[in-house]
Amino acid sequence: MNIIDRMIGRKKSASSAKERLQLVLIHDRTDLTPAELEALKDDLIETISRHVEIDSAAVRISVAQDGRSQRLVADIPLRSATRRRFR
């Protein structure tokens, strides 16, 4: 991408191709659809909530690429004990 494109924020087709491919390949490699990932997230929230209080609306789950292998990354914020006391 040249400087002018960058300044006016115009995205070239090669970078959209790369971004689209990254997503497509993750799903091809893991055989995990976005819907299945959502279901997995709900199950995770339910299981973890049984042990510790979490901020379920802020849970993020994604598949990251690490070379040719995939990694399931979950970011699960815990509710702090102090905040809980004042509720």
Partner 1 sequence: MTAKVLTIASGKGGVGKTTAVANIGVALAARGHKVICVDSDIGLRNLDVVMGLENRIVYDLVDVVEGRCRLRQAMIRDKRVPELYLIPAAQTRDKSAVSPSDMIHLCNELRPECDWVLIDSPAGIERGFHNAIAGADKIIVMTNPEMSAVRDADRVIGLVEAEEKGTPVLVINRLNSAMVKRGEMISVEDVLDLLAIKLLGIVPEDENVLVASNKGVPLALDGKSKAGLAFQNIARRLLGEEVPFLDLESQGLWQRLLGRK
Contacts with partner 1 by CB under 8 A lie at 1-2, 5, 12-15, 17-18, 20-22, 24-25, 28-29, 65, 67-68
Q: Which structure tokens are listed for 71?
A: 């990694």
User: Residue 13 or 82: which CB sits closer to partner 1?
Assistant: 13
Nearer to partner 1, 15 or 49 (CB): 15
What is the smallest separation between the CB atom of 22 and partner 1, expressed in angstroms?
A: 7
Structural contact between residues 74 and 61, judged by C-beta atoms closer than 8 angstroms: yes
Q: How far is the CB of 54 from partner 1 (least distance, A)?
A: 33
Q: How far apart are CA 20 and CA 39, in angstroms?
A: 23
What residues contact residue 26 under an 8 Å CB cut-off, 6+ apart? 63, 65, 70
